Amino acid sequence: MMNSSNATLLDGRIAAQAVGVAFRKLDPRLLFRNPVMFVTAIVALLTSLIFVRDLVQGADVLLTGQIAAWLWFTVLFANFAEAVAEGRGKAQAASLRRTRTETMARKLASIEATACESVAAASLRAGDLVLVEAGDTIPGDGEVVDGIATVNESAITGESAPVIRESGGDRSAVTGGTLVVSDRIVVRITANPGESFLDRMIALVEGAKRQKTPNEIALTILLVGMTIIFLLVTVTLQGFALYTGFLIPVVFLVALLVTLIPTTIGGLLSAIGIAGMDRLVKFNVIAKSGRAVEAAGDIDVLLLDKTGTITLGNRQAAEFLPLTGVQEHELAEAALLSSLADETPEGRSIVALARQRAGIALPADRSGMVFVAFTAQTRMSGVDLGDRRIRKGAVDRMRAWMEEQASIGPAQGRELTGLVERVARSGGTPLVVADGRRLLGVIYLKDIVKPGIRERFATLRQMGIRTVMITGDNPLTAAAIAAEAGVDDFLAEATPELKLERIRQYQAEGRLVAMCGDGSNDAPALAQADVGVAMNTGTQAAREAGNMVDLDSDPTKLIEIVMIGKQLLMSRGALTTFSIANDVAKYFAIIPALFVAAYPPLQALNIMALHSPASAILSAIIFNALVIIFLIPLALKGVRYRPAPAASLLARNLLLYGLGGLVVPFLGIKLIDLAVTALGLV
């Protein structure tokens, strides 16, 4: 189970491995991916060469040696940060991989075929058919094309109760590594080796094939630009020094360069990205790309299905509302009889209510009863008892049915309309019950809004995210539930086409839309949405269309996903700001140190009262290296995110990372200066 693998922030074992990896990452081909660190490594190499030259010539190399060492440390610390993030990812990946034990698969030539061939699961390709029976492990991601089975998916989701998987319908997708508990199914494999969700996720959390996300690319460009600017600053400074009549030692210029270029954020950037993916996995969400996670932070509109997300699973029958002249008992009996053939939870709740409320017994003898089963198309069910034709169903359906039998009297019609509207306005769903030509009354199906959901929507509103409830209910019912749950908007009588159209409409307005879905008919909308989260219990079509899969199949998790996306961006922004703000203090350490010999009055700029030029430069470079180590936990954990309007988030973060970034290095450099002086390192 993945939740158990929550490694502590700096697990000793991971850290120990990361140290080794940090050295291996000195490979120039790997370093080149990170321009800031590449420049740092080059100047570290240059300084080392100077160190060797001076050593050979017998010059004083104490300072040069230390600077060279700290420059290498800077690169290593950055590599270490990345290695730790990857290490934690690998730990996650290992637990993901454990679910994919090497199994054998029974490959079928066709659905009808009876003979099967035993092959290694790893050799299966998309399109292959395999037979899986009780006790077998499903060999790969796929879709049930024949049969029905209960499957234990605890290996993936941590949920121990087995679930039903069957061909057709919305519960046809199966995941490799899960266990069939009963029955037999034929599965069509949908992923080639190495391309399954798990494989993709493993690659993402390990950081091996990590593609930079759009925002990360933009930030890298900024960092490269700043590096170029500071290269220019440093190189030209030698010219100005020459004019002034002295030469700045190359080692000092190097120190200036490395302290100015944004090594802090440059060193931690990829660690932040990897850790973001990692956090997502901990929430049992698999993302197909980092881009999707980043997009989640930008979401403006959340489309949420009402059922299961906003309201507690299924509607429950709550009340029988008879028309004038009809006894409640009579209505309850008809409701019970007509619902016997309705196996939906709603149907069962009607039967239960009739038994409890009206004390009606289930008919012992069902001979002579011809049942009309409930279907999604007819949206009604019933029973024929000789001449009696008892029916219950959705209002429009029942009206149509009644019209076929006989016209409804105007008074009855008005009364029915009144009852229906009363139910709808209070957020319930009305079902109409009739016995042949006789209209009996209305069943009140109540929708129960999940406790605490209102507060969550209020939070989202604070974050600037609009919530839209999607429901098949009529507009009146939808409006009532929307008001009770506190969503901003709703889409009533939703069809897949309407959903898609609504998403496109929001996108045309420039909004980014997230939604979750599970059914095949959700696939177009999931693909259209900027962030589409498919439920793991859903169809393979839905899982392919979305860009994330929630292993727990919990629609409210969209909210967490959005927060993780935001946290990812915030962490980058905060550390960039911190990195740039740090430069101010470094200037006040290094500039007087470089120039005080030429212009003694420049000592006035040494506001930290650092001991000597040598100690000032060394302290700045040590601070620059150590700050990377100190910020690794922040990079891995992410900047704290509390839902709040952007203005207050900005104010808080600017204060913390902007102002903090200005002040902290003054203190840090001063302390290090005291230390290196006391230790006699300069």
Partner 1 sequence: MTADGILQILFTLALLALLTPLFGGYMARVFAGERTWLSPLVGPVERGLYRLAGIDPAKEQHWTSYTLALLAFNLLGLLLLYAVLRLQGWLPLNPAGLGAVSPDLAFNTAISFTSNTNWQAYGGESTLSYFSQMVGLTVQNFVSAATGFAVAVALIRGFARRSGRTVGNFWADLVRATLYVLLPLAFVSAIFLVWQGVPQNFGAYVSANTLEGAQQILAQGPVASQIAIKQLGSNGGGFFNVNSAHPYENTTALSNLIQTLYLLLLASALVYSFGRMVKDTRQGWALWAAMSIMLVTGIGVTYWAEAQGNPAIAALGVNDTASESNSGGNMEGKEVRFGTALSSLWAVSTTAASNGSVNAMHDSFTPIGGLVPMANIMLGEVIFGGVGAGLYGMLVFVILAVFIAGLMVGRTPEYLGKKIEAKEIKLALLAVLVYPVCILGGAALTAVIPSALASVANAGPHGLSEILYAYASGTGNNGSAFAGFNANTLYHNSMIGLAMLLGRFAVIVPTLAIAGSLVTKKTLPASAGTFPTHGGLFIGLLIATIVIVGGLTFFPALALGPIAEHLSLQAGTLFGAIP
- Binding residues for partner 1 restricted to 289-308, rule: CB under 8 A: 294, 297-298, 300
Restricting to residues 567-606, which ones interact with partner 1 according to CB under 8 A?
567, 569-570, 572-574, 576-577, 580-581, 583-584, 587, 591, 594-595, 598-602, 604-605
Taking the complex as a whole, how short is the minimal distance between the CB of residue 548 and partner 1, in angstroms? 18
Mind spelling out the 3-state secondary structure of 11-64? CHHHHHHHHHHHHHCCCHHHHCCCHHHHHHHHHHHHHHHHHHHHHHHCCCCHHH
Element at 636 (helix H, strand E)? helix 613-637
Give me the catalytic one of 199, 278, 305, 518: 305
> CB-wise, 219 or 323, nearer to partner 1?
219
Please identify, among the stretches 200-208, 221-229, 364-372, 527-535, the one whose residues bind partner 1 according to the rule CB under 8 A.
221-229
Contact with partner 1 (CB under 8 A) among 103, 462, 521, 556: 462
Q: Shortest approach of partner 1 to residue 38 CB, angstroms?
A: 18
Name the nearest CA neighbour of 87 among 4, 29, 8.
8
Restricting to residues 365-404, name those near partner 1 by CB under 8 A.
Answer: none
Q: Which is nearer to partner 1, 54 or 300 (CB)?
A: 300
Give 172 or 567: the residue with its C-beta nearer to partner 1.
567
Using CB under 8 A as the binding rule, the residues of this chain from 634 to 653 that contact partner 1 are 639, 641, 645-647, 649-651, 653
565 interacts with partner 1 by CB under 8 A: yes
Residue with tokens 């498919």: 534
Task: Clarify whether 305 is annotated catalytic.
Answer: yes
Smallest distance from partner 1 to CB 271, Å: 16
- Indicate the residue among 191 and 616 with the shorter CB distance to partner 1: 616
How far apart are alpha carbons 68 and 621 in whole angstroms? Answer: 10
Beta bridge partners of 131: 106, 186
Those residues with Cβ within 8 angstroms of residue 38's Cβ, 6 or more apart along the chain or in another chain: 28, 31, 32
Report if residue 609 touches partner 1, rule: CB under 8 A. no
Which of 91, 78, 82, 76 lies closest to 11, judged by CA? 91
Q: How far is the CB of 133 from partner 1 (least distance, A)?
A: 48
The structure tokens listed for 139 are 């060999």
Look at residues 245, 390, 246, 416 and name the one whose alpha carbon lies nearest to residue 332. Answer: 390
DSSP class of residue 597 equals T
Nearer to partner 1, 64 or 579 (CB): 579
Binding-residue pattern over the window 228 to 267 for partner 1, x denoting contact by CB under 8 A: xxx-xx-xxxxxxxxxx-----------x---x-------
Name, in order, each residue with C-beta under 8 angstroms of 315's C-beta and a sequence gap of 6 or more.
345, 346, 349, 428, 429, 445, 446, 447
Q: Quick check: 629 binds partner 1 (CB under 8 A)?
A: no
Considering only residues 485 to 544 of the shown chain, the ones binding partner 1 according to CB under 8 A are 508-512
Q: Which stretch binds partner 1 (CB under 8 A): 31-39, 134-142, 459-467, 663-671?
A: 459-467
Question: Exposed e or buried b for every residue in 332-348, given b needs 16+ CB within 10 A?
Answer: bbbbbbbbbbbeeebbb
Closer residue to partner 1 in complex, CB, 240/630? 240
Least distance from C-beta 617 to partner 1, angstroms? 14
CB of 101 to partner 1, least distance (A): 39
Stated as kind and residue range, the H or E segment containing 131 is: strand 129-133
Give the pair of three-digit tokens for residue 281. 């996995």
- Check if the beta carbon of residue 259 is closer than 8 Å to that of residue 616: no
Site string for partner 1, 114-133 (x = CB under 8 A): --------------------
**Cα–Cα nearest to 354, from 366, 342, 365:** 342
State in angstroms the smallest separation of the CB of 176 from partner 1.
35
Cα 493 to Cα 345, 471, 472, 474, 497: the distances in Å are 20, 6, 4, 5, 11
Pick the closer one to partner 1 by CB: 126 or 605: 605
Q: Which is nearer to partner 1, 26 or 241 (CB)?
A: 241
Does 111 bind partner 1 (CB under 8 A)? Our answer is no
Binders of partner 1 in range 49-78 (CB under 8 A): none
Give the binding-site size for partner 1 (rule: CB under 8 A). 77
Please state the closest distance from residue 523 (CB atom) to partner 1, in A. Answer: 25
- DSSP per-residue letters across 150-175: EEE-HHHH---S-EEEESSTT--EE-
* Separation of alpha carbons 516 and 324, rounded Å: 44
Nearer to partner 1, 67 or 593 (CB): 593
Amino acid sitting at position 318: A
Name residues contacting partner 1, limited to 200-219 (CB under 8 A). 214-215, 217-219
SS3 content of the chain, % helix, strand, coil (to 5): 55, 15, 30
Considering the complex, what minimum distance in angstroms separates the CB of residue 507 from partner 1? 8
Shortest separation between residue 34's beta carbon and partner 1, angstroms: 16
Tokens of 515: 């939604």
> Which one, 229 or 411, has the nearer CB to partner 1?
229
Instruction: Answer for the pair 103, 38: CB distance below 8 angstroms, yes or no.
Output: no
Which residues have a catalytic role annotated?
305
